[in-house]
Amino acid sequence: MRRYHSGSDYLRAHSIAELAHMARRRLPHFAWEYLNGGAEEELTLARNRQAFAEVSLLPRTLVPWKTPDTRRTLFGCEQPLPMVIAPTGYNGMLHRDADIHLARAATERGLPFTLSTVSTNSLEQIVKAVPDVNLWFQLYAMSDPRVQEDLLARADTVGCRTLLLTTDAVRLGNREWDKRNFKRPRQLSLRNKLDVLRRPRWIRQTLWPHGMPSMANLDRYLPADQRNAAGAAHFIGEKMEHQLSWEFLARLRDRWPHRLLLKGVMHPQDAEQAVRLGLDGIVVTNHGGRQLDGVPASLDCLPAIADVAKGKLSILLDSGIRRGADILKACALGADAVLLGRATLYGVAVGGQAGAGHALDLLSQELHLALTLLGQPDLNHLRVSRQSDATFSVS
């Protein structure tokens, strides 16, 4: 079994899967399951990967070689790759200031970074640490209008011009590993406490000297003695809006003066409704297999959604991206870009900013190579043929 010791361990990883292997060895068991687990039987979690495997690539030969063009225009801005860092919550469990590390890694490569409502670095901390970040913000709708209005005002004030409303998590999915690992909310079982003691490196890079981080975006709404992980978890459970509707989204569209995306779309009719409301984009996602188990893979839902919404708003896809060829397939089937969640979190868990950057570089290199070997040097000129109702070929 390989062991990793140096601060540049991440450089030994030649794939996202190898970064995941390193992260699993480094993290305590409860943190690894939080990062990598899905809901219930994890059927959807597995389908997200299987869907990419079932899309075949049909290369052309004797195509004169040139450097592939992977540029993509998203909301009027050209970026070098069709990638965005996805919003992911409580990243400070993986590495101290993980959100800042992710923002820096994305910004260095000219890519947007999305901050979660339940992040462990605040909007203000991100912008202070990474002044030139292309910051997107993911909103969990709040039942307290004062809290929601303040979150929106803060996002606007720090220069965020893209807001993602997440609608597929008004209640958390049945994540059984969470019940196993915690005897009470944010209170580890004895077995997991003992496991943490076996991870001194993780303790140094995550807990020392202040303990488990809070959800920094929410701290100002909490009593002083509850500004900790348990207090924030209780707050978000009590204050998250559970009665979302299209009327709510229409009001948010009127309130938010910048780009607004709906995150949680899997049905073509929902995509059509988003178009009618004048949204700027949608994210086709099953929340990484962490919500309702047994739903289709995000990629399997993409073609039908693209049929009704392509060209009318921007379409992004997340869940299951582990290879550069996955990005190629998503773009071919109708996505304008992909959101990266676990792939970059494996990297940040292993090597902070440099590890996250390595994950992005691996995917970029694989995407360039896949386009070259496909004989299609331009990401925007991919062709798709349907092999059956469920399988496609890309050339």
Quote the CA–CA distance of 143 and 376 in Å, as a whole number. Answer: 49
**Residues 59, 62, 67: CA angle, nearest 5 degrees:** 80
Q: Would you list the DSSP string of 246-272?
A: HHHHHHHHHH--SEEEEEEE-SHHHHH
287 assigned to active site: yes
Query: Which residue in 29, 287, 358, 368 is the catalytic one?
Result: 287
Phi, psi of 284, rounded to the nearest 5 degrees = -80, 115
To 10 degrees, the CA torsion angle through 143, 146, 152, 153?
A: 180
E strands present in the chain: 56-57, 72-74, 77-79, 83-85, 113-115, 135-139, 162-166, 182-184, 187-188, 259-265, 281-284, 314-317, 337-340, 384-386, 392-394
Could you please report the per-residue DSSP string of 69-104?
B--EEETTEEESSSEEEPP-S-GGGTSTTHHHHHHH
Catalytic residues: 287
